[in-house]
Amino acid sequence: MPEQPSAANSPVTARVLLSHHAFLFFLLSRSLSRFSSQIAAVAIGWQIYDLTGSAFDLGMVGLVQFLPTALLVFVAGHAADRYERKRVVQLCQLVEAATALYLAFATCFGAIGEVQIFIATFVLGIAGAFESPTTAALLPLIAPQGSLQRATAISSGAAQVATIMGPALGGFAYAVAPHLAYAVMVLFWILGMILTGFIRPRPQAIATSSDNIFAGVRFIRGNPAILGTISLDLFAVLFGGVTALLPIYARDILQTGPVGLGVLRAAPAVGALLMTMVLARHAVSRHVGLRMFQAVIVFGLATIVFALSPWMWLSALSLAVLGAADTISVVIRFSLVQLSTPDEMRGRVGAVNFLFINASNQLGQFESGVAAALFGAMPAAVLGGVATVAVALLWMKLFPSLRKVESLE
């Protein structure tokens, strides 16, 4: 195994990081899994609506996929700490591929129904509940010493590429033949499983069988920096998410139609991708705690600008800035949590973090919808942006140790 570059003797550039075989295999495997998940979101959503014509059933897809995360969060985190992480990821990818294969055959032969899709979605949710925290806990064992922040930025950028291109690929494949979309998912997950097998991580600190599955919660509660980091993400996204309101803005406020809606949905991912390219070359090296809070404040301010904008170009630009600011915050938060957590607990801490992220996204859309129903779309979006800024300022006071974090590596 080649000697890993050390932050002490030479900086680990993006080029050096991408030439590191373990990280490259990890990046490709994670990207293929993310592509498959994005294709699944399009194919399953479209097929459910095509079969039932029910908006309620369409909403139930997200709930069915989220439930395993809520139910299995502690078990999944313990598995990531108790067993070899790359094997856990491979098993998840195998289960996902088998589920997609079932959907492909059932769709091809006309034997698919609403119940089968919901069961398959639940199984995919179970696999995702185990795969996500395990993948997050695996990255620190792969990235060369001193390069976790840059590795996180590159990994986040690859995820954004999948977020932008995955739905388009899924829609095209489904248009050709519904079962083709599921077949592509099978191929991607199988390839991802094979690539995961080539990863050679550093030795993992295995948790003992007597370790409590709730130890991650106790660790987070006893570490103000990690507690502040995770809770900041929960409340900032909870109040600041405007994704659920984009159809209202596209149709009623900006009057741009479906094409404009597509642009608005893509804008945050484009901004995030551009920022990951910057962070891959220029890591945040000083005042990282303060920079994280500043990024969340910019996120809130960009949300306010979007909420008040009457012009399509300004709305798209503000969403791109929003996505870029969120990426800075995500990279710092992820790196801080991983580096502050002992390796034998990264799975359990990561599982709680994953639950908070999913909860904030799901509940944030619900909060935005309720607020828009009560006050109107524009006041709801403004209120969300103001609340995000307020949360960031409040958290700076509540968690001074987090604000004072100077560096990550």
Half-sphere exposure of 112 (CA within 13 A, CB side): 26
Residues 186, 188, 189, 191: what is their CA dihedral angle, to the nearest 10 degrees? Answer: 120
Half-sphere exposure of 336 (CA within 13 A, CB side): 32
Domain ranges of the chain: 14-197, 218-403
Question: 174-180: long-range contacts at Cβ-Cβ below 8 A with a sequence spacing of 24 or more?
Answer: 174/42, 174/43, 174/46, 174/47, 177/108, 178/43, 178/47, 178/107, 179/103, 179/104, 179/105, 179/107, 179/108
Q: Which residues contact 362 (CB under 8 A, 6 or more apart)?
A: 62, 63, 66
- What six digits make up the tokens of 141? 């064992």
Q: What is the pLDDT of residue 6?
A: 41
- What six digits make up the tokens of 290? 């303060």
Task: Please classify residue 161 by burial: count the beta carbons closer than 10 Å to its beta carbon, then call 0-12 exposed, 13-18 middle and 19+ buried.
Answer: middle
Q: What is the pLDDT of residue 355?
A: 75
Divide the 409 residues of the chain into consecutive groups of 10 and give the mean pLDDT of each group: 42 76 92 91 82 71 79 85 91 97 94 91 92 88 82 83 81 87 96 94 71 74 80 74 74 77 79 85 79 90 91 91 88 80 80 73 65 79 89 88 72
Domain 218-403, CATH number (from 2.60.120.580, 1.20.140.10, 1.10.10.10, 1.20.1250.20): 1.20.1250.20
Q: What is the pLDDT of residue 314?
A: 93
Half-sphere exposure of 37 (CA within 13 A, CB side): 26
CATH class, range 14-197:
mainly alpha
- What six digits make up the tokens of 5? 């570059």
- What six digits make up the tokens of 92? 């998840």
- The span from the CA of 80 to the CA of 395, in Å, is 30
Phi-psi region of 10 (alpha: psi -120 to 50; beta: other; left: phi over 0): beta
Domains 14-197 and 218-403 agree in fold:
yes
CB-CB neighbours of 211 under 10 Å: 16
